[in-house]
């Protein structure tokens, strides 16, 4: 089996790293395509070094640009590679323009696409990430959902449950493997970080999302909040896009003339883990950092009004604060000064698995390939219609047997007002089910 694995941003490199390791362990043929969506050293190459990844087989060097322009360039260059390589399967991750481009090209070429970190939803179509992930989830062959909630999202949108697998999130694999590697010896390599890591009340800050940094009002509001956090030391690994926006809106000097705000260059992954591990609190608009915080037991305040990682909020490790100045300041003070509140957030249960997600994902792909389940072929039998029904099941029967008996495909199970994903052996007695009746 030949697998093409595609990435172009820092989060994709990080989260695909354990899958790359697992593919090599199983001696499968792997082709790595880097789009170049993040193209400078700190945002891409440094992560290959830290995570000990092989160099990409193809670097498309797309660079930045408007969404349509960037996606178009990627599709044109990806298509040439896939036609040449003729892979058996393509892996894409998350919600980036790289993932969308890879999905579209592979799907048009009838190459099976597997979506890692499928089913996340913020329910806000104002963000490019939400649009990308929803488009990718339209017609993949395998969906690797990090949680049951993500799997339910996919199922309710009509994805067949046989294609959905709850695998956990590979970020747990990455964090657990690399947390053991970090130590203060690394500080000898990063003098900038060495001078900051021993400060008290460290808050790690990251902001990069378009709705924050490209909006003068939002960015100005964030800067105003940071100005009042004199009781903390804010360490800010600044994203190139954010730096440009701060300068464009005449906010850069205002922020970095503050003694308690420390701007540093983007960090490599191990350095960043070290910074997080020494932080009392995280302020961010990042999706991935919401996951890393709860895995590493660090309280986090998310500078957004919604999240595609609601599990972290439900678990109690993450609080959505939007841009409400008083709320942000009040919660920051509480977490830094109230040990009970801080410990409650630190002890929130990680909802993303035990660190074996990559192994599960590769095993599922391999099993599907060996069972000839990844081929994209025309339907052989006549299917007149699908009728969507909801019923209460009275008999003692599980999901698999119900579907077989009734020629049905169950989308979701409702048990006492709680949604459940329809795994094969789930007993349906006295539960309501939403299912497609195949005519």
- Supply the residues annotated as catalytic: 208
CA–CA dist 402, 85 (Å, integer): 42
Q: Could you tell me the CA-to-CA distances from 316 to 294, 319, 348, 428 in Å, in that order?
A: 9, 7, 5, 31
Cα dihedral sign, 223-329-306-174: positive
Give the DSSP per-residue string, 314-332.
HHTSEEE-TT-HHHHHHHH
Q: How far apart are CA 75 and CA 89, in angstroms?
A: 17
Q: How many CB atoms lie within 10 A of CB 391?
A: 14
> Rounded to whole angstroms, how far apart are CA atoms 323 and 283?
11
Q: Sign of the CA dihedral 228, 292, 285, 206?
A: positive
Phi, psi of 36 (to 5 degrees): 85, 20
Q: Which of 131, 143, 137 is nearest to 67 (CA)?
A: 131
Sort residue 29 into left (φ over 0), alpha (ψ -120 to 50) or beta: beta
| Dist. CA 439–CA 431, nearest whole Å | 23
**Rounded CA separation 269/286 (Å):** 15
Q: Is residue 119 a contact partner of residue 137, using CB atoms and an 8 Å limit? A: yes
- CA-nearest of 375, 357, 278, 412 to 116 is 357
Dihedrals φ, ψ of 10, to 5°? Answer: -55, -50
* 389 DSSP β-pair partners: 435
What phi and psi values does residue 30 have, to the nearest 5 degrees? -125, 130
Q: How far apart are CA 179 and CA 354, in angstroms?
A: 14
């Amino acid at each position: 089996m030949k697998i093409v694995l595609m990435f172009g941003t820092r989060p994709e490199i990080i989260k695909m790293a354990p899958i790359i390791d697992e593919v090599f362990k199983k001696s499968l043929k792997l082709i790595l395509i880097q789009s170049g969506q993040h193209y400078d050293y700190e945002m891409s190459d440094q992560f290959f070094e830290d995570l000990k990844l092989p160099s990409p087989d193809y670097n498309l060097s797309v660079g930045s640009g408007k969404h349509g322009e960037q996606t178009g360039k990627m599709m044109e260059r990806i298509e040439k590679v896939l036609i040449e390589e003729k892979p058996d399967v393509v892996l894409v991750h998350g919600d980036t323009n790289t993932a969308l481009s890879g999905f579209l090209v592979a799907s048009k070429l009838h190459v099976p696409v597997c979506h890692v970190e499928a089913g996340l939803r913020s329910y806000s179509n104002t963000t490019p990430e939400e649009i990308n992930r929803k488009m990718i989830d339209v017609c993949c062959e395998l969906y690797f959902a990090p949680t049951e909630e993500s799997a339910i999202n996919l199922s309710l949108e009509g994805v067949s449950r046989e294609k959905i697998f709850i695998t956990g999130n590979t970020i747990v694999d990455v964090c657990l493997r690399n947390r053991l590697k970090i130590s203060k010896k690394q500080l000898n390599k990063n003098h900038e970080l060495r001078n900051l890591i021993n400060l008290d009340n460290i808050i790690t800050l990251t902001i990069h999302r378009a709705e924050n940094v490209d909006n003068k009002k939002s960015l100005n509001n964030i800067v105003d909040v940071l100005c009042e956090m004199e009781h903390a030391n804010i360490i800010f690994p600044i994203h190139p896009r954010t730096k440009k926006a701060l300068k464009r809106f005449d906010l850069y000097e205002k922020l970095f003339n503050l003694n308690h705000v420390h701007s540093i260059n983007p960090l490599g992954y191990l350095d960043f883990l070290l910074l997080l591990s020494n932080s009392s609190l995280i302020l961010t608009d990042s999706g991935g950092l919401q996951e890393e915080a709860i895995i590493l037991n660090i309280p986090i305040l998310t500078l957004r009004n919604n999240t595609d990682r609601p599990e972290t909020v439900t678990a109690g490790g993450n609080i959505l604060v939007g841009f409400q100045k008083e709320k942000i300041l009040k919660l920051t003070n509480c977490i830094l000064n109230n040990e009970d509140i801080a410990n409650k957030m630190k002890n929130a249960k990680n909802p993303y698995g035990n660190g074996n997600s990559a192994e599960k994902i590769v095993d599922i792909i391999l099993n599907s390939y060996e069972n000839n389940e990844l081929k994209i072929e025309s339907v052989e039998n006549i299917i007149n219609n699908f009728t969507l029904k909801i019923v209460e099941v009275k008999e003692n029967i599980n999901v698999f047997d119900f579907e077989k008996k009734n020629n049905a495909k169950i989308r979701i199970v409702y048990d006492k007002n709680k949604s459940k994903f329809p795994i094969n052996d789930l007993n349906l007695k006295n539960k309501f089910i939403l299912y497609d009746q195949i005519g």
